[in-house]
Amino acid sequence: KHFARLTIERMLNDRRFTQREREVIVLAFMGLTYAGIAERLFITEHTVKKRLESIRRKTGTGSFFELFMQHVPKEE
């Protein structure tokens, strides 16, 4: 499988995240802005920010890059 796709699949299977947080992760990695994510999910930008804060808190990451790297499959 493609490296990035496998990594994103691992993030989406991470049981620390709620379903809504998973949806936010996917849209954020697609490059949508807070406003774009909010529009797609029918929530406010404030709620998007809260979801992202929750994701960062659960993972101890400060950026999407760190979140992505945390889920990169290790070479076996």
CA separation (Å) from 7 to 26, 47, 50, 53, 65?
12, 25, 23, 21, 12
Looking at residue 64, its pLDDT comes to: 81
**Per-chain mean pLDDT for the chain:** 91
Instruction: Look at residue 76 in the predicted model and tell me its pLDDT.
Output: 53
Look at residue 65 and tell me whether its pLDDT is greater than 90.
Answer: no
Answer whether 61's CB lies under 8 Å from 70's CB: yes
pTM across the whole model: 0.83
What end-to-end distance do the CA atoms of the chain give, in Å?
15
pLDDT mean over 22-29? 93
